[in-house]
Amino acid sequence: MKAAGQEHIGLNQNIVFEKVLTNEGGGYHPNHGVFTAPQSGVYVFSSSIMATPGGEIHTAIVHNENAVARIFAHSVGIMTKEVRRLFLR
């Protein structure tokens, strides 16, 4: 979870989450926001992205420098959010 808002995120900038609900195996590195699989297997990623009123945000879950899921939220007058779940092997 992102405890505080993060404005003006740059292109290809990692979003670092302060609160991670599950990190079995310790693959998520909170210093730079990158997950490295500690062993082969199936990994599940879930992300909710919220846009403030009048704002929009484009994000992606990236695997080996390739976007495997894109998440877009656009808000007109109210807050909106978009949710994606991704299973990677």
Does residue 14 lie within any of the structural domains? no
- With respect to residue 25, please indicate whether it lies within any of the assigned structural domains: no
Let me know if residue 36 belongs to a domain: no
Does any domain span residue 77?
Answer: yes
Whether 58 is in a domain gets the answer yes
Overall domain count for the chain: 1
Domain assignment present for 48? yes
Let me know if residue 61 belongs to a domain: yes
Decide if pLDDT at 81 tops 60: no
Which residue range forms the structural domain that includes residue 73?
Answer: 41-88
pLDDT of residue 27: 92
In a domain, 32, yes or no: no
Q: How confident is the model at residue 82 (pLDDT cuts 50, 70, 90)?
A: low
Percent of the chain topping pLDDT 90: 7
Q: Give exposure, 37-69, as e/b (b: 16+ Cβ within 10 Å).
A: eeeeeebeeebebebeeeeebebebeeeeeeee
